[in-house]
Structure formats: structure tokens, C-alpha cells
Amino acid sequence: MQGAEKERYSLDRPDRPSSCADAPVKPSPPGSSSELPSESLSASPSIQSEKDPDILASASVSFPNGSPISPEVQQNRELPRFTVIEYDENHFLETETNDVENCLMFRDRPYMTWINVDCPRQIYSLEKLGACYGLHPLVLEDILTDQRPKVEDYEDYIFIVIKMLYYKEAEDDDEIGDFNIDMDQVSIIFGNNFIISFKEKDVDVFRPLKERLRTARGRIRKQGADYLAYSMIDSIVDHYFVIMEKLGDRFEELEDSVVSNPEPGILPAIYNLKRDMLFLRKSVWPLREAISRMQRMDSHLISETTRIYLRDVYDHTIQVIENIETFRDMSASLLETYLSSLSNKLNEVIKLLTIISTIFIPLTFLSGLYGMNFTYMPELQHPYGYPAVLVLMLLVVAVMLTYFYRKKWI
């Protein structure tokens, strides 16, 4: 069924040379100077107006599968930002642009090309990029919609969806538990000599990876697109451990607060933490299956060397999942500890009130006894009757307190 859809999609699209750059770019020989063609530099625009008719369709815009998007929604969306990195062992070129046309000319050059797209919300740009690289319409739709982590093989390229997690610290450090975890969907497409990545948020999670490419450190510039895709997945998975470390610190902070001072504000923090654990599990758990499938995938796009590295990423994913399950158990036990501490604190208050009430029972009996209005009560006429009753009351209180102290009730 996918084959039929791919064939229909290719028939609806113009040929690749016309959908890519208007003028073909002659590949420069390896080792030549890392410069863009003159037409590329002259065509690099600043950020264009979103109401430009060349950028946005004046009529209704639709997804590649036909789902309509209103022009008002389309015009309110910001322009994507493209970062193009072209490299091999002896060549490196990096440029940024807001015009998709400036990215298409790199299609047939004899170098490895990495196109990173930030804020991929413009249908026009995605369609142009998809037509140039022969991407299936369903792939373009998945890029724009929320998907679970997965890996799909389209023969000429492999499509990967992975969740990037961000940890937001509390603005006020005095408020315990005022934190949450944010998520960004990262889509990766790689073929023989190209890789395209899409991410919604303007956070450069691949900055260390780009620095390795600029400085030619390690083997990354000697390997193909599959190794670069592995490096991107590894960077995202390694960032999960940063999340785990910060969550561990939050658990320790909450545990100390629950034991020492179980104040009411801790309960919302515990429930937020349980919600974050559920969110983490839903985001990371499918990644194990996706990486395992990618590792066993019978594709010519993944070399045997890269499969070894994928096994290492798979082990890291298992470790992250185990940490998440441990934190889920800790959050449940933390809630039980909080309720127990709250109950113990309430019991201490009730014990104090009970002791006070117990002390006043005999005092109330004595005062009630001598408050009766009988005519013949000898003690009422005695000159030392009132002081004697007060001394008796104090003696009763002293005896009861001594008894409670020996029983270790106070």
C-alpha cells in the first residue's frame, strides 16, 4: 500500500531537477575552498514577511494528505529557519537561511549534507523540501503532528521520530516542587548522503555535535549519514541522563521536606512529580522498541559499524527506562511517607490535646463538687477551705504530669 502511495506521490510532483534548485549546481571537487555558489549567496534572504504571496498561499493551504489549514492560521505561523552543514573529511561549509530555495541546491553536491529545520510549521517549505528529496506525504504529515517515537524504512531513506526532553527549573527556589518537564519532537530523515532534522523549539540540542563537525574531531566527518543520525540520537538519549540527575535531586529535596516538615505545599509537588514520571514513561518507553528495530533493520543505509553504536544507545535507553521505573516507585513511596508523616504529626497534636483534657477532668470534678449549692457543706464554712482546694488541684496536676512523664507520653 505504501508503494502505491509513493508512486502516486511521485507522479503528482514535478521531476526532481525542477523541484530542487532552478539552476543545477556543479559539484566542486574534494578539497576545494568551502564557498557557496554565487547565486546561493545572492539569494540568501533575510526573514521575509509571512504575508508574502510567494511564501504563503493566498487560498487555503492543506497538508500533503489533503487536510485543510486555514490561511489565517498559516499566516500567523513563523517562518522556519534552515541551517545547512555540508562536509566531508576535507571540506566543511555551514550556512543559515530562512528560504527553502537556498537549501535545495545542496541536493546533488558530492558531500554529506545536513539540513536542520527549526520551527517547521510552513507547509510550502516542507513541500518544496519533500519534493526535492522525494519524501512521502505521510512523512511530511508526521513531522507536523505529534507522534510516538518510531523508525520507518522507506527504502531510499529512513524516518525517525524521537522525543527531546527539557527540564524547567522553578523560578522561585523557595517553592518546593515548582518544576516541570517540557518536550520537543525531533524528526530525522537520512539517506545515502543527506540527513534532514526537524525540531519545534528554538533550543540547539545539537550544538556539541555541530562543534565536532566544525573542528573535525573524532570520526564523524569520515562517516556517512547513518553515523550522524546515530550521533544525533545519542545526544538526545544522553540528555535524558541530565533529566534523571535533576529529578534525583528533586526527590532528595522532597524526601527531606516530607520527613522534617510535611507542609501542605508538598502534596501538589508529589503529584506533579508523579505526572512527570508518567510523561517520561510515555515519551521514552517506545524509544526502546524504535532503536531495537533500527538496529535489526535490513537496510543498506545502515552500516555494520553503526549497528554496533546503536547497540550502545539501546543499552542507554534501557538504563533510562529503569531509572524512570525506579523514580515512579519512589514517587509512590514518597506519597505514602508524606501521608504517614502527616498522620504522625496529627497524632502528636491529638496526644497533646488529650493530655490537657485528661488533666482537667479531675480539676473539673473538684470544682463541680464544691460548686454545688447545698446548705450543709462543712468545707464551705472552713476558713482554709478555698486554699486547701487549690492545693489539692495543684497536687493532682503534679501527680498526673509525673505519671505521664514516666510513661514517656510527654
pLDDT tens, 319-346?
Answer: 999 999 999 888 888 888 888 888 888 8
- Stretch 7-35: mean pLDDT: 40
- pLDDT band for position 116 (cuts 50, 70, 90): very high
pLDDT tens, 295-312?
Answer: 888 889 999 999 999 999
Report d(CA 229, CA 196) in Å as an integer: 9
Report d(CA 81, CA 98) in Å as an integer: 5
Comparing C-alpha atoms, which of 82, 130, 120, 122 is closest to residue 102?
82
Is residue 63 domain-resident? no
Is residue 391 domain-resident? yes
Is residue 296 domain-resident? no
pLDDT tens, 206-254?
Answer: 888 999 999 888 888 888 999 999 999 999 999 999 889 888 888 888 8
What CATH number is attached to the domain comprising 387? 1.20.58.340
Q: Is 382 exposed, middle or buried (0-12, 13-18, 19+ CB in 10 A)?
A: exposed
pLDDT of residue 371: 80
Angle at 126 between CA 187 and CA 42, to 5 degrees: 115
**Residue bearing the bigger pLDDT, 138 or 39:** 138
Q: Is 124 exposed, middle or buried (0-12, 13-18, 19+ CB in 10 A)?
A: middle
pLDDT of residue 74: 43
Whether residue 257 contacts residue 266, with contact meaning beta carbons closer than 8 Å, is answered with yes
Comparing C-alpha atoms, which of 95, 304, 113 is closest to residue 221?
113
Report d(CA 43, CA 182) in Å as an integer: 36
Is residue 402 domain-resident? yes
Q: What is the DSSP string of 68-84?
A: EE-HHHHHTSPPPEEEE
- Stretch 105-125: mean pLDDT: 87
H or E segment and range at residue 151:
strand 150-153
Is residue 353 domain-resident? yes
Q: Is 359 exposed, middle or buried (0-12, 13-18, 19+ CB in 10 A)?
A: middle
- Stretch 360-378: mean pLDDT: 83
- Stretch 171-181: mean pLDDT: 56
- pLDDT band for position 191 (cuts 50, 70, 90): very high
Q: Are strands 112-118 and 194-199 parallel, antiparallel or unpaired?
A: parallel
Q: Where would I find the H helices in 261-303?
A: 266-296
Share of the chain above pLDDT 90, in %: 32
Report d(CA 395, CA 388) in Å as an integer: 10
Q: What is the DSSP string of 193-224?
A: SEEEEEESSS--TTHHHHHHHHHT-TTGGGS-
pLDDT reading at 122 higher than 60: yes
pLDDT tens, 66-109?
Answer: 444 444 444 444 678 899 999 988 889 999 988 888 888 888 88
CA dihedral 364, 367, 369, 374 (to 10 degrees): -150
Domain count, the chain: 1
Q: Are strands 150-153 and 158-168 parallel, antiparallel or unpaired?
A: antiparallel
**Residue bearing the bigger pLDDT, 85 or 10:** 85
Q: Indicate the pTM of the whole model.
A: 0.69
pLDDT of residue 176: 52
- Stretch 12-24: mean pLDDT: 42
Is residue 47 domain-resident? no
Best-predicted range by mean pLDDT (22-31, 49-58, 156-165, 171-180): 156-165
Comparing C-alpha atoms, which of 173, 148, 45 is closest to residue 99?
45
- pLDDT band for position 52 (cuts 50, 70, 90): very low
Is residue 388 domain-resident? yes
Q: How far apart are the first and last CA of the chain?
A: 79
| Host domain of residue 394 | 349-406
Report d(CA 288, CA 274) in Å as an integer: 22
pLDDT of residue 26: 36
Is residue 386 domain-resident? yes
H or E segment and range at residue 340:
helix 304-369
Report d(CA 18, CA 55) in Å as an integer: 18
